[in-house]
Structures are given as C-alpha cells and as structure tokens.
Structure 1
Amino acid sequence: MNKSILTRKLVIVLCAVSLFLTSCTTKKDVVYFQNAKDFETIVNTDTFTSRFKINDIVSINVSAYDLTAAKPFNLIVESGQNSTPIDYLIDTEGNIDFPVLGKIKLLGLTVEEAKQLFKEKLSNGYLKDPVINIRILNFRISVLGAVTSPGVYPISGERINILEAIANAGDLDLKGRRDNILVIRDFNGAKTYTRIDITNKEVFNSPVYFLTQNDVVYVQPNTSAISGSGGDLRIGQFLGYASFVMTAILLATRF
C-alpha cells in the first residue's frame, strides 16, 4: 500500500478515536425541565415555611408601647460601649430558655406560629399589645459536588428553593448529573436523604424543592466525569503515543 495513503488512514483513525474519547455529553444530559410543554402553567399552591430545628440560633425581639415593661424580655450583653442582644439556641429537647417566661418549646413551629405563641404568653399579665420579631440566624445551605462554586451559602430570607441554591453555586457544570441530585436534611436529629431530578418538571412538586436550614445539596458527577478522573490520564497517554506514531510514520515516508 502506498505510504501516503497509509498515513492518511492512520491520521483519520486517530482523530476519530480522539473525538470519541473527548466528546461524551449529550443534550439529554444537560437540559433542565425536558418534559415541560409550551405555554403550560404549573400552579404551585405550596405554602412551605421553614420550621425551627434543633440547634437553630434564633433572635427574638420584644417591643411594646411601654418600653420599660418590655426591657426584661430583651437581654443584652455589654461590651465596652457596644451592646449586643442575646440570641437563643434551640436545645436537643426543642426548647429555649427565655427570660421571665422560662422554657419555651419552639421545635417544629414556623416563625409566625412562634410569634403568636410569644404574643399569647406576654399578653397574659406582662405586656399590652406586644410586638414580636423573630429570625433564624443560622439559615444556610451547603452545595457540594459538580457545581461551579461549591460552598456554604447563608440565606437572608426564610426560604429558598433548590434551583436558587444551585444558581447561588454558579449552576451545575456539564459533568454534573441533573437527574440524581441528593438533598441531605436533618429532621429532629435524624438524617433524611432525598433525590431530585431537575430535568423533569415534577421537580416543583418534590418535598425538597424548598430547602430548609442547614440542608446539604450534593450534585453527583456523571459517568464520564467519574471515569474521566482516570480517563483523562489515559487520553493524555493515548494522544502522546499517537503523536509519536504519527511522527514516526511521517518520517518514514520521507525516506
């Protein structure tokens, strides 16, 4: 066989193999909400609100027309010229130890339910028309795995959905599995594990579509990424060998 023809065939084969090894991602792997139809409306009637968990850190401020009467319910720590309100940690039994009122169980309540509870207790002989402000101070979520910017993200509001969490982390990279995202949640001291598929519009009906404080979102790498951890080295070796072979063939055809 003519040497030049043999060389061309080898080059074509080597290029084809290289393309095969380096191009594995398809549209099906990366597109979100693949089964959503044009002009389709999904009515989300979910009234999700975060509920207090064990180890939550909570700020509670009590106000009333008579500020002097409300002062015993707003403890502060003096540090030089600065004063800092005391925050409350929900203990393993779900309680906080609140001044004057004593132990109050917050575990499982929403912020609004907790406000109503305090209002009822304080209106019972302590304050007239009290105003209660409550915030969860340690509301944060962690996003790990095949995303652009993995990390821990503090949340300023009272809820966040999984799509917003992924957006905060810079979106999934091309090698992240969209159909098998794991949400790890702490529920009364026990861990729950739920998987979610964001290529399907049913994501909006998932029990973990809205995240709770301290949830962990793990994006699993796809098969090509896992095999690629060792495959990248093999591809590099292959291309190195291919380059050597092609160079040897080209040199041989010159003589």
Structure 2
Amino acid sequence: MKKTLSTRGITMLVLGCLALFGTSCISLKKSELIQPISIPDYSNEFVNEQRDAYHINVGDNLYMKVYSSDVKTSKFFRTDFPELMNDSYIYLNSYKVDEDGYVKYSFIDKVMVKGLSIEEAQTAVQTAVEEYFEDVTVQIKLVNFSISIIGEVNKPGNFNIDREQITILQAISMAGGLKEFAKADEVRLVRKSPNGTVVKNLDLTNSKLLESEYFFLLPDDVVYVTPRSSKSFAFEKFPYGLFAGIISIGLSIYAITK
C-alpha cells in the first residue's frame, strides 16, 4: 500500500512539473512567418501595388558620379581618381535635393528629380550632362536610405540600404532574424508622415502582409519587434531552483520505495 501511494505521488509530481514547464514553452505556430489563412486560400503569387521603387523627396541626399571612357571627361569629373566607397565618403560627396525638388550637379543646370525613381533621376541627369559631353554614364545612389531594427532580433541596429527598395522580411534578415520570444504577429512599424509619425502594427505570420502597403520599407523607418509576455515569465519568474528540487525529491522517493 505504501509503495502504491508513493508511486501515485511521484506521478502527480511529474505531471505537475511538466505542466509548470509547459507554461514557458512557445508554440511554433505563433512564430512561423507568412502563414496561409487556410490551405485552399494559399497562393504562390501575391500582388502588391506598392512594389514600385522609392521616389525621391525634398531633402534627400543623392550621390552622383559621371563616368566616361574618354580620358579628358573622366579627369573633368575626377572619376579617374581612386575613391573610398564607404558611407562617410558617399555622404560627403552627395548632393541635396532642394525645397523645390531640384538637384544641382557640377556645372549643369539644376535638374528636377522630386517624385522620380533613382533610375529615372539617372536618366534625367544623364540627359543634362550629354548636352556637354558624349559617351557618359551617370550613377546615382540614395544616400539617406537607412532603417532601424530594434527589439527581439539577434542583431538590432541601424542599417544603410544600398538598393532602391527593401521588404520588412529582408530587413529582419539583415538584423539576424527573430529571437525565440519575438512576437511575430505584432511587429510595430514607425514611419514618418507629412503630419508627423505613423505607428502600424504588422502581423508577420499572415501571408496578407505580402500585399500590404507596409511590406516595403521607406527611408528612416523603424521596425520594433515586440517580445512575448512569456519571455518575462520564462527568464525572470520561472522557479528553476524549485523545479530542480522537486525533481530531485521525486527521484529520491522513487529510489526509497522501489
């Protein structure tokens, strides 16, 4: 009879410990990104009306360079000199879009670039340069395209983007991906607007995100990956010492009654 009671007690202890331990576990369903709403609704193609490249705004800094196979032209634009292609060099050699949307480069007339994509701006500046030189190629890069990723990611920080567009998933990948306790279904996007600041909650587990206007990030966007409330319990409140003690006592009772 004594052995039966002890065995029952051990069983209850083990079940209690398992239940307690289970409260600190995270469902993989809550951390899986881009989940289909249902199997019939799943599609391999999502249309996003905001997929167009970034359009230049007033105050943007543009790095501009003119290249040519002609030696004299290259010397004129100093493209025959070695360049330190780091962020500081590019910023110091950039040109700011004025309040009217124009950019002034070298001796050419100012060129309207507001509202243009980087590719369209390159064409506009090249057309202006070709009025004076032949066989030239214009390179333009948006200098101030930087974003910040903070919160439950492995490598939070500020990132300079060397392309015309980037998605929120690509940005999180640059930040090392989500941590174990990241709340993927509630990621906050902080974005500047004409009236101030907009804060948008995004659900990265929903495949509808691929069609959202917020799927593509803009310069100065801040992505905050919020933590789950279970993180606080798991790392601060979970009684690991008590848990180990209960297991130890259970094993001792089992050894005595065996």
Provide, for residues 82-135 of structure 1, a one-character-per-residue CA deviation record: whole Å limited to 9, x for no partner.
566862243673665532246656454321232233245445x54457532211
2:27 aligned with 1:26, yes or no?
Answer: yes
Residue of structure 2 equivalent to 1:117: 124
Letter in 2 for 1:133: Q
Distance of aligned partners of 1:45 and 1:223 in 2 relative to their CA distance in 1, 3 Å threshold: closer
Tell me which of 92, 97, 107 is aligned to 1:100.
107
TM-score (norm 2): 0.71
Tell me which of 140, 146, 150 is aligned to 2:152.
146
Residue of structure 2 equivalent to 1:192: 198
Provide, for residues 149-189 of structure 1, a one-character-per-residue CA deviation record: whole Å limited to 9, x for no partner.
33334433222212222222332233211211122234569
Q: CA deviation at 1:203?
A: 0.8
Q: CA deviation at 1:225?
A: 1.7
**Distance (whole Å) between structure 1 residues aligned to residue 113 and residue 198 of structure 2:** 21
Q: How many equivalent residue pairs?
A: 244
Residue of structure 1 equivalent to 2:6: 4
Distance of aligned partners of 1:98 and 1:169 in 2 relative to their CA distance in 1, 3 Å threshold: same
TM-score (norm 1): 0.72
Percent of matched pairs sharing the same residue:
21
Tell me which of 26, 39, 43 is aligned to 1:40.
43
Report if the CA contact (8 A) 1:53-1:188 is conserved.
no
Q: CA deviation at 1:204?
A: 1.0
Letter in 1 for 2:204: I
Distance of aligned partners of 1:68 and 1:89 in 2 relative to their CA distance in 1, 3 Å threshold: same
Instruction: Name structure 1 gaps, 5 residues minimum.
Output: none
1:1-255 matched pairs, under 5 angstroms: 2=2, 4-5=6-7, 7-23=9-25, 25-32=26-33, 33-35=35-37, 37=39, 40-44=43-47, 46=49, 47-53=51-57, 56-63=60-67, 68=72, 74=77, 87-90=93-96, 93=99, 96-101=103-108, 106-123=113-130, 126-127=132-133, 131-187=137-193, 190-231=196-237, 234-239=238-243, 242=246, 250=253
**Distance (whole Å) between structure 1 residues aligned to residue 193 and residue 103 of structure 2:** 18
Considering Cα pairs closer than 8 Å and 6+ residues apart, tell me whether 1 or 2 has the greater RCO.
Answer: 2
**Distance (whole Å) between structure 1 residues aligned to residue 208 and residue 168 of structure 2:** 13
Letter in 2 for 1:31: E
Report if the CA contact (8 A) 1:14-1:242 is conserved.
no
Letter in 1 for 2:140: I
| Greater fraction strand | 1
